[in-house]
């Protein structure tokens, strides 16, 4: 029996509507969509959506933890073994250039997995630092963005963090901070010179994660770009590398859409 197909419509508020085709159902039985978070093992990592006339709605008020959620078609009350659902058309236009409202920033993007199944990529961040345009020049990167859920104020800084090297007994984690210019409506900007992250020798890859500290002593906020319809920017947004003596540096996004700087040996 072939897997059913779900056509999706996502709105800017976080509601996702599923329309199923090709789903076989025994008359008189019940059917649901089961959302299951990968790597989770608690009751909160499963959400059931009733299917009515082959339609199911994930309401914006239904909590989903950050992560990747597989979509399964199940029949029978309480059934846990379901069939994967294939992705159909995905109308995600409302997610592009969205401006979140008050409260935590919650993003839900339906997407096709590498093996042809339907899944949801979810983010829940409060506060959230949305990275915008990147300007690359003179061996540095300038980042502009908007902070939601907090205001960057006097003394705001951006911080690059490298967890260190596991080789040769390990290298201690390192951090480097640069000042942030704050603007109206949560806007911020900062310039990060690559050379400050390239203490020689650069003998292996270094990934520096980027954080925003809205004020001295305030909790750090991870920089990311999640307010659109791209569920994995790692191979979508590729930036030119700056070449220096013995190393290369370039901004890049992780598979979770977090912004970082990648340093590699020049050879």
The pLDDT, as a whole number, for residue 24 is 63
Say if residues 233 and 202 touch (Cβ distance below 8 Å): no
The pLDDT, as a whole number, for residue 206 is 95
DSSP state, residue 199: P
Query: What torsion do the CA atoms of 62, 65, 66, 67 make, to the nearest 10 degrees?
Result: -100
Structure tokens at 217: 């002593």
- Candidates 174, 228, 168, 234; CA nearest to 206 is 174
The pLDDT, as a whole number, for residue 166 is 64
How many Å from the N-terminal Cα to the C-terminal Cα in the chain? 52
Give residues with Cβ within 8 angstroms of 179, minimum separation 6.
Answer: 156, 157, 158, 190
**pLDDT surpassing 60 at residue 27:** no
Say if residues 91 and 111 touch (Cβ distance below 8 Å): no
The pLDDT, as a whole number, for residue 47 is 96
Provide mean pLDDT across the span 158-167.
85
pLDDT band for position 101 (50/70/90)? confident
Write phi, then psi, for 192 (nearest 5 degrees).
-120, 110
The set of long-range contacts for 232-236, using a CB threshold of 8 Å and a minimum separation of 24, is 232/111, 232/121, 232/257, 233/257
- Candidates 264, 233, 267; CA nearest to 249 is 264
Q: Angle 147-150-110 (CA atoms, 0-180°, nearest 5)? A: 55
The pLDDT, as a whole number, for residue 214 is 97
**3-class DSSP state of 79:** coil
Q: State the Cα–Cα distance between residues 245 and 86, nearest whole angstrom.
A: 49
- The more confident residue out of 190 and 101 is 190
Provide mean pLDDT across the span 180-185.
96
Q: Work out the mean pLDDT of the chain and round it to a whole number.
A: 92
**pLDDT surpassing 60 at residue 1:** no
Burial of 171 (0-12, 13-18, 19+ CB in 10 A): middle
What digits encode the pLDDT tens for the residues 29-39?
689 999 999 99
> pTM of the full predicted structure?
0.91
What digits encode the pLDDT tens for the residues 198-220?
987 899 999 999 999 999 999 99
pLDDT band for position 28 (50/70/90)? low
The pLDDT, as a whole number, for residue 193 is 98
The pLDDT, as a whole number, for residue 169 is 53
The pLDDT, as a whole number, for residue 25 is 59
**pLDDT surpassing 90 at residue 225:** yes
The pLDDT, as a whole number, for residue 210 is 98
What digits encode the pLDDT tens for the residues 103-158?
899 999 999 999 999 999 999 999 999 999 999 999 999 999 999 999 999 999 99
Alpha carbon 139 to its chain's center: 27
The pLDDT, as a whole number, for residue 26 is 53
**pLDDT surpassing 70 at residue 14:** yes
**Highest mean pLDDT: which range of 63-72, 79-88, 192-201:** 63-72
């Amino acid at each position: 029996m072939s897997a059913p197909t779900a056509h999706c419509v996502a709105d800017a508020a976080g509601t996702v509507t599923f329309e199923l085709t090709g789903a076989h159902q025994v008359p008189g039985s019940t059917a649901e969509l089961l959302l299951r978070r990968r790597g989770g093992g608690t009751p909160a990592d499963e959400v059931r959506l009733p299917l009515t006339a082959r339609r199911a709605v994930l309401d914006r008020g239904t909590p989903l933890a950050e992560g990747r959620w597989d979509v399964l078609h199940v029949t029978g009350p309480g059934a846990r073994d379901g069939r994967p659902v294939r992705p159909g058309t995905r109308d995600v236009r409302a997610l592009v250039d969205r401006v979140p409202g008050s409260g935590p920033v919650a993003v839900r993007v339906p997407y096709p997995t590498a093996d042809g199944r339907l899944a949801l990529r979810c983010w829940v961040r409060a506060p959230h630092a949305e990275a915008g345009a990147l300007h690359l020049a003179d061996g540095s990167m300038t980042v502009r963005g908007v902070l939601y859920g907090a205001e960057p104020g006097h003394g705001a800084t951006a911080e690059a963090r490298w967890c260190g090297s596991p080789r040769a007994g390990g290298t201690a984690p390192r951090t480097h901070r640069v000042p942030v210019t704050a603007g109206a409506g949560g806007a911020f900007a900062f310039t990060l010179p690559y050379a400050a992250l390239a203490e020689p020798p650069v003998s292996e890859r270094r990934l520096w994660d980027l954080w925003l500290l809205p004020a001295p002593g305030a909790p750090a906020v991870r920089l990311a770009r999640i307010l659109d319809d791209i569920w994995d920017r790692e191979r979508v947004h590729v930036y030119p590398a700056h070449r220096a003596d013995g190393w290369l540096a370039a901004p890049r996004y992780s598979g979770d859409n977090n912004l970082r700087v990648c340093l590699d040996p020049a050879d």
